[in-house]
Amino acid sequence: MCRGGAPALRETNQGHWKTWRDTMRKAMAIGAVLGLAGAANADVLISEILGSTSGSDWEYVEIVNTGNSAVDITGWTLELWDSDAASIGGADGASPYVFGAAVLNPGDVYVIGNGLAQAGYSNPMFSFNQTWGDNSVENSSYTAILVATGDVIMDSVFVNDGGDGDFANRAGAAITANLTAGPDGTFLPAGFARTDTLGGYSILFFDTTLLADGSIQGGTPGINQIPTPGAIALLGLGGLVATRRRR
């Protein structure tokens, strides 16, 4: 009886093994796809912020896809949190700001800005994708956080004026920001741009006397100022140029 039952037992075991193997292969394939999607998402960064100018503030935030794959940013949010010691964790403006339906191809940027910035950067070389109200960006230390669907933090920048006790935070809870910009001397930077991808990012503070003049220091909303690693290798650090966003 045992001899007669052994083949059936082996067939059953083999069937279970095949089912388990196929299930694991599917799980690994799904995991690989999700991993690739996560890696692609991680390449979307905050590339420029302008928030403190003379008179009424021109304000915008630009994000960029520095990766090699397209990323759907529909429904992502931008959070802006007061980071002064005396008022930690207050939401700036109407934060959080929800991104509209958009897919960023490699090198593409997406810009949210107020009407003053859009009027000031009227040259067709600049572009905006979405409008927010005035006074959306704090004029003292603040934390900008880019959040993907599922409440996944993709990038964070602590912009500070050097005040004692100021710290990067999310709704009052301390965080370690991916990047710190400022102070600019003893002041809050008017704005900044990330300018390279070699070993992190270099920060270039904006000069309010140069706004909209076409230079990186004057702000370039709608233009990707971060070259690809291959372009950096070809150009060298001294060959940095701003490239027009892809449509």
Q: What is the pLDDT of residues 226-244, one digit of tens each?
A: 865 444 433 343 333 333 3
Residue 125 near residue 43, CB atoms below 8 Å: no
Q: Are residues 62 and 25 in the same domain?
A: no
pLDDT for 234: 38
pLDDT for 7: 53
Q: Are residues 110 and 201 in the same domain?
A: yes
Q: Is the per-residue pLDDT at 37 higher than 80? A: no
Q: Is the per-residue pLDDT at 41 higher than 70? A: no
Mean pLDDT lowest among 6-10, 145-149, 170-174: 6-10
User: What's the structural domain count of the chain?
Assistant: 2
Q: Are residues 36 and 55 in the same domain?
A: no
pLDDT for 213: 95
What's the farthest any 2 CA atoms get from each other in the chain?
A: 95
Average pLDDT estimate for 207-235: 79
6 or 130, higher pLDDT: 130
pLDDT band at 173 (very low <50, low <70, confident <90, very high): very high
pLDDT for 17: 56
Q: Are residues 79 and 33 in the same domain?
A: no
Calculate the average pLDDT of the chain. Answer: 82
Give residue 166's region: left, alpha or beta (phi > 0; psi -120 to 50). beta
Q: Are residues 127 and 16 in the same domain?
A: no
Q: Which two tokens stand for residue 144?
A: 């900008």
Mean pLDDT lowest among 45-54, 69-78, 135-144, 192-201: 192-201
Mode of pairing for the β-strands spanning 169-170 and 103-104: unpaired
Q: Are residues 97 and 77 in the same domain?
A: yes
pLDDT band at 93 (very low <50, low <70, confident <90, very high): confident
Mode of pairing for the β-strands spanning 44-50 and 103-104: unpaired
For residue range 52-73, what is the model confidence (pLDDT) as tens digits? 887 789 999 999 999 999 999 9
Q: How far apart are CA 63 and CA 146, in angstroms?
A: 9
Q: Are residues 103 and 202 in the same domain?
A: yes
Q: Are residues 91 and 179 in the same domain?
A: yes
**Distance from the first to the final alpha carbon of the chain:** 73
Q: How far apart are CA 67 and CA 73, in angstroms?
A: 14
Q: Is the per-residue pLDDT at 33 higher than 70? A: no
Q: Is the per-residue pLDDT at 191 higher than 70? A: yes
Residue 136 near residue 26, CB atoms below 8 Å: no
Q: Is the per-residue pLDDT at 149 higher than 60? A: yes
Q: Are residues 27 and 94 in the same domain?
A: no
Q: Are residues 18 and 107 in the same domain?
A: no
Domain of residue 22: give its range: 1-41
Mean pLDDT lowest among 18-32, 106-120, 176-190: 18-32
CATH code: domain of residue 158: 2.60.40.1260
pLDDT for 206: 94
Q: Which two tokens stand for residue 87?
A: 């008022």
Q: Are residues 21 and 109 in the same domain?
A: no
pLDDT for 12: 52
Q: How far apart are CA 112 and CA 232, in angstroms?
A: 27
The rounded percent of the chain whose pLDDT value lies above 90 is 65
Number of helices (H) and strands (E) in the chain: give both, helices first: 3, 17
Q: Are residues 55 and 11 in the same domain?
A: no
Average pLDDT estimate for 93-113: 95
What DSSP designation does 95 have?
P
